[in-house]
Amino acid sequence: MKLNYLLLDVFTRHRLQGNQLAVVTKGDGLLDGEMQAIAREFNLSETVFILKPNAERNTAAVRIFTPHTELPFAGHPTVGAAVVLGLQNKVSAVRLEEKIGLITALFEKADKRSGEARFALPRLPSRVADLTDKLGIAQALGIEVEDIGCDVYQPAVFSAGVTFHLVPVRDANVLKRIKVNRGIWNEVFKHDHNSAYVFTLTPDEPDNDLAARMFGMDIGEDPGTGSAAAALIGLLSEHATLANGQADFVLRQGHEMGRPCRITIQLRKDHDILIHGGIGGHAVVVSEGVLDLDD
């Protein structure tokens, strides 16, 4: 069995930056265990398998695997898959069947190897729980208790398909100082995947509104996490000053890792209720190859 694949850098216009992604372009016929083994072989934060869609009117079915488990939804794999399919099919929109549901992504080509994709969240974020143990959070992140909190934002657990512990911190300098304490991590961040998305506002940075780092999901630190940004939309929405209308944000992630990512975030409210959340970003093809699985 030989399988073609592409390697992309996502949430960036520039090769060798952003968040890496493997895309197996024709994964039909693979068993679940084989997909998991291939994802473990690539050993990237996620690997995408593009399959024939169940419904003829859709572009493709997409399955997303970390090296350890399958995810119902993830942001940078969705952006990467949409860019690959947009480039291959020469279309401006793709309909993706993911485990979480159907996602329609708008695609804009930049050149023959890169483009931008934007999509509405298939599931709006919801608050799962409060996160009140500030001492534990501080110890787990290697920061001070007084570093926790930013403007009106306080720690909370949200999910838009994947659960994240959202931790606002005082400023970008606190982000730089984080030192993960694995000894107590899972006790403090005890919900699914034990993932913490630490973020702050960046009023002094002209190119973005927010900065973040993501730790957990058995991958250490992740350079760019669209599903966490999707969860963050829930917390942003709770404190957005608009009762009606749209707010747009630009978030940077991965700078501390030397893999800068740029994620666009959109939320829309009607009568103070969140009715739309969107994620977007660029992706660029870095390389392509063939998996040779013949004995």
Q: What is the per-residue burial (b if ≥16 Cβ within 10 Å, else e) of 104-114?
A: ebbbeeeeebb
Give the whole-angstrom CA distance, residue 96 versus residue 99.
10
Q: What is the mean pLDDT of residues 218-239?
A: 94
Active site residues: 46
Instruction: Give the pLDDT band (50/70/90) at residue 35.
Output: very high
Please tell me the predicted confidence (pLDDT) of residue 294. Answer: 84
Q: What is the mean pLDDT of residues 152-171?
A: 97
Q: What is the mean pLDDT of residues 34-42?
A: 98
Residue 262 forms beta bridges with which residues? 252
Q: What is the mean pLDDT of residues 180-203?
A: 95
CA pseudo-torsion sign 54, 80, 207, 109: negative
Q: For tokens 């895309």, what's the residue?
A: 23
Q: Please, how many CA atoms are within 13 Å of residue 196, restricted to the half-sphere of its CB? A: 27
* 232: pLDDT strictly greater than 80: yes
Lowest mean pLDDT among 44-48, 138-142, 291-295: 291-295
- Structural domains of the chain, with CATH: 2-118+282-292 (3.10.310.10), 126-281 (3.10.310.10)
Structure tokens belonging to residue 72:
């119902």
Give the whole-angstrom CA distance, residue 281 versus residue 263.
5
Q: How far is CA 177 from CA 133, 156, 166, 216, 256, in A?
A: 20, 21, 17, 17, 10
Give the whole-angstrom CA distance, residue 133 versus residue 148.
11
Q: What is the mean pLDDT of residues 195-199?
A: 97
Please tell me the predicted confidence (pLDDT) of residue 275. Answer: 97
* 281: pLDDT strictly greater than 80: yes
pLDDT in tens, 233-258: 999 999 988 888 999 999 999 999 99
Please tell me the predicted confidence (pLDDT) of residue 119. Answer: 98
Output the furthest CA–CA distance in the chain (Å, rounded). Answer: 61
pLDDT in tens, 104-115: 999 999 999 999
Please tell me the predicted confidence (pLDDT) of residue 101. Answer: 96
